[in-house]
Amino acid sequence: MKRLLRILMLLALAAGPMVAAEDDVVMKAMRDELGRSMQQLHLPDVDKPYFIAYRVNDGEITVIAATLGDLTASDQERSRTLNIELRVGDYTLDNTNFLPTRGTERFSRMFSGSGQLPIDNDYEQIRRAIWLATDAEYKRSAEELSSKRAVFKNRKGVSDLPDFTKYEAVNITGAPASSKAEVIALEKLARELSAIFRGSPEILKSEVRITIRNLYSRYVNSEGSSYTEPDPMATVTVSAESQAADGQPLKEAFDVIVISSSDFHKDEIAARTRKMLERIKTLRNAKTIERYNGPVLFEGQAAAQAFGQVFAPALVSTRIPTSDDPRFEAGIQQFLAQMGGGSLADRLGGRVLPADYDVVDKPHDKAQGKIELMGGAQIDDEAVPTKDTVIVEKGILKSLLSTRTPSTDSKATTGSRHGIGASPTNLFLISHKPQTEQELRKQIMDIVKQRGLEYGLVVRDLGAVGLSWVGRMGAIAGQMGNLNPGDVEIYKVYPDGKEELVRGVEFAPFLVGGFKDVLASGDQPSVYTGPFIPMANAMLAGMGGTAGPNGDPFTMVSYVAPSLLFEEVSLKRTSGSSPNPPVAPSPMAVGN
């Protein structure tokens, strides 16, 4: 069975598109087992499956890491995983939107519906693996529906919303991405970029990590839909750690996320790395501030980050699952309230931004100026073709992004199922009253003077999770994967225009409601590509729904927004104590 390897070699040589996947053996095995299961898979006196979808993801992941010019890792992995969405009952009432809290059911669901398939294109063994996984998933789902029925029988006021909506058959074919990770060249890039930190003993740890993820999905469902779709992504993450004289740990990081590694611009990344190195050196001796309440200007990508971390998570519709334990549900409601509440669902038709702003999700846009947009897709994870969705128009909330699972606030899908639930793709905050950067600067200084403050604050980088409460929890728990939660980059600006880097501050809770009071916006939209971190309720809904289609808890979204000026934002000195600096001096400092 050298065939697969040969295909890959061909791919590496000829950069042309591959044969359409329509007739490949993997797709054939998926279709054949799907057809058989829909017709024949059921137990006597037990509900039949009414909907089955298979997704097979071929993944090729290359990870290269280096520090101080030397490699610390260079690994390539290939995998093929199967995900099954199997629903028993009917569209009105099925086994989903239900969260068992007792017994082993809760755990069995978390690990169900997915598995490894042979990486060989071996029809028989792939089909056999799908057969066994479908059988297990059917038995589990049927049992789940029966517990759900039992709970519904004993309780009043349970949701009468249908569990799932029908959708017409759609067929889309996309060829796998032809790009191949050029390991040798990427190793060289990682070495060269990481060597920038050489000769800087004040940097304790530094790393350049390159991740090339080449994903190819095949999907079929029992409604007659099918699609194949490539999803390539190339990331460079540069991070460095230092410690201030008083012991406070300092961490700086940035990501460059593009479609193909050929889009990496070495000189640009190197320049950003050098800038970051200089900044962290400055930061070691920078002063912190105890407390600040006043105007804050989010400049450039920091505005897109604030928009993505605070506003975007509130724009998706979620269906909170029914559980078998009312106390659990009450507890969850309380917990959600503490964690910044849910979406903006209750504000539909109401004002959520000033009247000069629109918010639109644009899955088909490829670039903003010269910057690639990464969130785009032709079709969502439930085989619904994607389209532009106007979410906010002239400041009024018009709709929420939704999936095929109806909720009280949206009955029809917007084609936004990505990952565990609804997610934006390329989300734009559009200002109809743009101002130049100078005008924004003048405006913040006017407020500073008016309020008798010594200075105002400008934020240039929030990192991946600077304002996301859920994201910061995740970062602490190590659940953020490759994402580097670097420190926020904040400057004091004085009336004379002088800027001064600020060390060790964090934001007081910055909630979605704050966006109603955006004072002004710039005329140059910036792009930030980062994870879509849903609110806690959406994660919970994800647990009660079907398994996430590719195992990634977070989808990558490009957020586009102009600089934003807020009148009142609170920050304080980072809480917690710091470790002592190292006892022995750095080996790099010896002899210097």
Per-residue tokens: 496? 């004379």
Q: Which is nearer to other proteins, 207 or 358 (CB)?
A: 207
Min dist. Cβ of residue 114 to other proteins (A):
12
How many angstroms separate the CA atoms of 272 and 484, rounded? 16
CA distances to 470, 475, 484 from 480, in Å: 11, 5, 8
Q: Which residue number, 4 or 396, has a Cβ lying nearer to other proteins? A: 4
Q: How far is the CB of 234 from other proteins (least distance, A)?
A: 16
CB of 500 to other proteins, least distance (A): 30
Would strands 291-298 and 456-461 be described as parallel, antiparallel, or unpaired? parallel
User: Smaller CB distance to other proteins: residue 78 or 432?
Assistant: 78
Q: How far is the CB of 192 from other proteins (least distance, A)?
A: 13
Residue tagged 């059911």 (tokens): 105
Closer residue to other proteins in complex, CB, 75/278: 75
Token pair in block for residue 368: 């903003």
Q: Measuring CA to CA, which residue among 535, 489, 480 is closest to residue 511? A: 535
Question: Rounded to the nearest whole angstrom, what is the least distance from the CB of residue 421 to other proteins in the complex?
Answer: 25
The whole-angstrom separation of Cα 400 and Cα 390 is 9
Taking the least distance from each CB to other proteins, the nearer of 116 and 338 is 116
Burial 357-396 (b: 16+ CB within 10 A, else e): bbbbbbbebeebeebbbbbbbebbbbbbbbeebebbbebb
- Nearest distance in Å: CB 132, other proteins: 6
455, 224 contact by CB (below 8 A): no
> Based on CB atoms, which residue is closest to other proteins, 195 or 557?
195
Task: By CB under 8 A, name the binding residues for other proteins.
Answer: 1-2, 4-5, 8, 32-33, 36-37, 40-43, 60, 65-79, 116, 118-120, 122, 124-128, 131-132, 135, 138-139, 181, 183-184, 187, 198, 204-205, 207, 579-580, 582-588, 590
Rounded-to-integer distance, Cα 139 and Cα 51, Å? 14
Find the shortest distance in angstroms from Cβ 30 to other proteins: 12
Contacts of 420 (CB under 8 A, 6+ apart): 534, 538, 539, 541, 542, 545, 548, 553
Quote the least distance from Cβ 219 to other proteins, whole Å: 20
Structure tokens at 52: 């089955």
- Nearer to other proteins (CB atom), residue 69 or residue 174: 69
Structure tokens at 382: 């439930």
Comparison of 122 and 409: residue with beta carbon closer to other proteins: 122
